[in-house]
Structure 1
Amino acid sequence: MSRGLVLFCGLLALKAGWTEDLGPSSSLRSVDVVLDCLYIEEAAGNLPGSFASSFSQDSATLVLRDVSVIDDGSLDDVTSYDVPGASTGSAPPLIFEASAKLVAIPHAESLLHADCSGEEVTCEISLYSGHQADEGTCQSSWFMGTLKLSSGISIALVLRGPCSSDGKEEERMTVLHPKLKVPVSNEGTVLTTVEFQSSSLTPTLRTRLGSSVILNCRFALAPGSPLAWVEWRLQHQGSGRSVFRYQAGSEPQEGQPTAHVDMVQLLETGDASLSLRDVSMKDEGTYICLVSSPKHQTQHIIQLQLAEPPRVHLFPELVSREGDGTTTLTCEISGYYPLDVSVSWTRESPEDEDKVPIPSSNIYFSSHRQVQMGTYGISSYLLINLATELTPVTFSCHVSHLALEEPVVVSAHLRAPDQKTSKVVVGIIISTALFVIALFGLIHRWRKPVDLKAE
């Protein structure tokens, strides 16, 4: 949740984009973005490799100073952030002031207007210990800021903190934060500079077999901090492999022919997004975008899921009423992925027009089948007792799956006994009886004269 800025949401009409969204009447303006955060620290005395429950959390504030955002004239009511004074006798607030002059903050408009757009921002700050030591006597402290928006945007910020000198005299004159043990400003804040940032728009992607997809990953480094390498890795079912790797000064290495990173965009704009075409089952899994400078490294994790909708067929569509035994409806479900699929049957007759269809029983299933391309299939069967179904009935097979926005429903119809046929049968019987009676009458009339001559 952002705070410290006076905003009137009804007046804000800025786009949540970057400088390419600038219109003819728009310009860039520097503002302060203030975020409520948690400072995450490993609890003192814990053994290496302890679980997350062994980490402490403290409330903190991240103030991104001089962030460039698009101003179309609706930012007149935005004010700068003023550091609050510490209460007497209380612990000083944990405030990180981060200058954004060297590295632009991505998706700044989304961060600035998170409250107005109803988004939630999760912010965590921790000590960054994976960097190489600075040269010279001045050793800087480094922090990692991780920002996540509920819309899916994730941002990693490497913050260069104040310099701690080895000089005894200077050390005595330096005011240290009681918790972080790093120098603080006159207002009691930790002054930092954004030296490195990376971001992603796609924490989770869902796509179909044979499609093309782009896994978003971008970065920016402060001037004088060169790019060391970029790598995309895929982790799936306990195994991992490199999909793409570029090391500065070397040729890029693509681990598979269907994966591609635009090297021109990577080197000129910091766009390290990975393009995948003709997506197959082997492309599903967890992708990790690793971007490294000589001193630091950031990463973004992206889940790529495959979801193929099922094809559903029901036969026969019209049920015959031959005999008084049982008949079977077959619902064939095929071509779906992942495995989980839900199948149910309902029964509906004319008397149930204003009622909810009744769930059917006497159902059984085949085992799951998997074809070579990796999709699945299953058959569901419904047994119908013809002797008890004396009215027109509609039986429906309902199929739900992850790849479907709503269930697929296919139906078959059972007609009532055909009354026209019954009338025809009765007519034939009556006609046969009349014919027999007439025949006996003719025979009787033919035999009567013969009997008279005999007398």
Structure 2
Amino acid sequence: MNLGLILICGVLALKAELPVELAPGSQLRSVDVVLDCHYIEEAVGGFPGAFAGSFSSDPATLVLRGVSIADDGSLDSVTNYEAPGTNTDSASPIIFEVSASLVPVPYAESLLHADCAGEEVTCEISPYSLHLADEGPSQASWFMGTLKLSSGISIALVLKVSSDREEDDRMVVLHPRLKVPVSKEGTVLTTVEFQLSSRTPTLRTRLGTSVTLDCSFALASSSPLALLEWRLQHRGSGRRVFHYQAGDVAQAEQSTAHVDVVQLLETGDASLSLHGVGVGDEGTYICLLSTPQHQAQNIIQLQLVEPPRVRLFPEMVSREGDGATTLTCEISGYYPLDVSVKWTREAPDDKDKVPISGSSTYFSSHRQAQDGTYSINSYLSINTATELGPITYSCHVSHLALEEPITASAQLRAPEQKTSKELVGAFIATFIFLAALVGLLLRRRKTVDPKSKKSLETSG
């Protein structure tokens, strides 16, 4: 981290401690953003498109020259980048100076303040082959810069290096490694011709929701948009979701997919909206944009999750019968397939829940519903005759869609334990029995046999 960034982070930390409202009139300021990168190149003998080639990686520096950053006064200490100077030996540093005069660099402020925000920036630069070869004697060299922030932002920059230089009294100096012209300071001067970015390289959503896959771009005026295509790859198969070619009508391959063509052409917003997503919409989405010369793509992972519903029955277990009881933990409606189930038992004297494993636990087979979600049952066999006290049995279910496991519990009553409902029921039954008995005796006294009564009178 250079001194300029240290000072910026210090100012931002101070502002975070003091709740001072920023001035409403923040101004844009032109600053240099310097990033540590890796220059990636296929080893000699490889060819474009080859599989499993060997690649070399060398340290490199990417300098985004004069990008516009909102300044509220915290950028006063920032200084412009100074190149180290020309070095013609084989160990010459690889430094790319990037001009954003034709196409702006998106999320430049996030790149500048990445260290202050505790983010990591991954930067790679590699040679880029044109979609269509240049014509004429003024052949250009091209590079692709790929930037990724740990917060999820991804940026692809197509960089152009022109071999045309103003004539002077000296020979053109080439970089010993890259074999392209360098400036007086030994840096490779490039211009952004095409940029493609996304702030959602990975999305996770529930079934039935609507989601937007972010994809934005900007082009130099000399390179108009020729094609936009969204494709979905999943489990070895692929299909086209949306297609637009300049001059033609946009084609959505599925009714739930939509791209706003007006925003596409006016603002460079190529985002794909999906409505009511289902299991069949999960996978890797590719946002592919082409000009007559360039082609670049964003890759966005869409993962669907649905949390399980958990029910344990019976909720109350008695010791009646032969002493064998099976508890059923019903887990349903979850996606994806993987689910973890653990059983525990807890007695009043236990400090912690005791895990249960072995032959007393077993599972049913998985079942899949029409909406793609899964269900499974987990069983626990218990012998109530061997348990002397009240026991709590619990089923703990973990799943990707859950931040914490879901727990469902069942109670095993102690032998002498009677619930309040049972006590009230016994009292009522006893009262009714006694009342019926007293009533019966009273009726018998009133209904004495008349012959028996006359016999008593005669004998008297």
Give the TM-score band, short-chain normalised.
0.7 to 0.9
Match of 1:406 among 404, 407, 411: 404
Aligned equivalents of 1:232, 1:307: Cα separation in 2: 22
Q: How does 1:129-208 map to 2 (within 5 A)?
A: 129-163=129-163, 173-208=171-206
Deviations 1:296-337 (A, max 9, x none): 011011111111111100101001210342111110001111
Aligned equivalents of 1:47, 1:163: Cα separation in 2: 24
Is residue 260 of structure 1 aligned with residue 262 of structure 2? no
Deviations 1:270-307 (A, max 9, x none): 11100000101111111000111111011011111111
Deviations 1:49-76 (A, max 9, x none): 5555601111110101011111122111
2:291 maps to 293
| RMSD (Å), alpha carbons | 2.7
Match of 2:219 among 212, 221, 226: 221
What percentage of aligned pairs have identical amino acids? 72
Contact 1:4–1:81 (CA under 8 A) maintained in structure 2: no
> Structure 1 residues 412 and 255 mapped into 2: Cα distance closer, same or farther (>3 Å)?
same
Aligned equivalents of 2:60, 2:387: Cα separation in 1: 70
Three-state SS of the structure 2 residue aligned to 1:264 is helix
Deviation at 1:133, TM superposition (A): 2.5
Which segment is superposed worse, 369-378 or 156-165?
Answer: 156-165
Contact 2:366–2:375 (CA under 8 A) maintained in structure 1: yes
2:303 maps to 305
Give, as a single letter, the amino acid of the residue that structure 2 aligns with 1:39: Y
Q: How does 1:371-390 map to 2 (within 5 A)?
A: 371-390=369-388
Aligned equivalents of 2:241, 2:88: Cα separation in 1: 56
Match of 2:368 among 347, 361, 370: 370
Contact 1:330–1:382 (CA under 8 A) maintained in structure 2: yes
How many residue pairs match? The answer is 415
Is residue 355 of structure 1 aligned with residue 347 of structure 2? no
Aligned equivalents of 2:131, 2:13: Cα separation in 1: 40
Aligned equivalents of 1:233, 1:160: Cα separation in 2: 28
Aligned equivalents of 2:289, 2:418: Cα separation in 1: 79
Deviation at 1:163, TM superposition (A): 1.6
Aligned equivalents of 2:33, 2:10: Cα separation in 1: 19
1:103 maps to 103
Contact 1:177–1:183 (CA under 8 A) maintained in structure 2: yes
Three-state SS of the structure 1 residue aligned to 2:62 is strand
2:112 maps to 112
Aligned equivalents of 2:52, 2:130: Cα separation in 1: 18
2:208 maps to 210
> Structure 1 residues 197 and 405 mapped into 2: Cα distance closer, same or farther (>3 Å)?
same
Match of 2:229 among 228, 231, 234: 231
Give, as a single letter, the amino acid of the residue that structure 2 aligns with 1:92: S
Deviation at 1:209, TM superposition (A): 1.0
- Runs of at least 5 residues in structure 1 that lack an aligned partner in the other structure: 16-21, 429-455
Q: How does 1:413-452 map to 2 (within 5 A)?
A: 413-418=411-416
Deviation at 1:419, TM superposition (A): 5.5
Aligned equivalents of 1:257, 1:163: Cα separation in 2: 48
Is residue 124 of structure 1 aligned with residue 160 of structure 2? no
Is residue 275 of structure 1 aligned with residue 273 of structure 2? yes
Three-state SS of the structure 2 residue aligned to 1:268 is helix
Contact 2:230–2:285 (CA under 8 A) maintained in structure 1: yes
Is residue 94 of structure 1 aligned with residue 91 of structure 2? no
- Runs of at least 5 residues in structure 2 that lack an aligned partner in the other structure: 16-21, 431-460
Give, as a single letter, the amino acid of the residue that structure 2 aligns with 1:148: K
Three-state SS of the structure 1 residue aligned to 2:180 is coil
2:315 maps to 317
Q: How does 1:18-33 map to 2 (within 5 A)?
A: 24-33=24-33
Aligned equivalents of 1:411, 1:179: Cα separation in 2: 68
> Structure 1 residues 250 and 53 mapped into 2: Cα distance closer, same or farther (>3 Å)?
closer
Give, as a single letter, the amino acid of the residue that structure 2 aligns with 1:289: C
Contact 1:5–1:80 (CA under 8 A) maintained in structure 2: no
Contact 1:153–1:201 (CA under 8 A) maintained in structure 2: yes
Which segment is superposed worse, 5-14 or 337-346?
Answer: 5-14
Three-state SS of the structure 2 residue aligned to 1:282 is helix
Q: How does 1:45-64 map to 2 (within 5 A)?
A: 45-46=45-46, 50-52=50-52, 54-64=54-64
Deviation at 1:98, TM superposition (A): 0.5
Aligned equivalents of 1:48, 1:25: Cα separation in 2: 50
TM-score of the superposition, structure 1-length normalised? 0.86
TM-score of the superposition, structure 2-length normalised? 0.85
Aligned equivalents of 1:331, 1:46: Cα separation in 2: 57
> Structure 1 residues 137 and 53 mapped into 2: Cα distance closer, same or farther (>3 Å)?
closer
Give, as a single letter, the amino acid of the residue that structure 2 aligns with 1:397: C
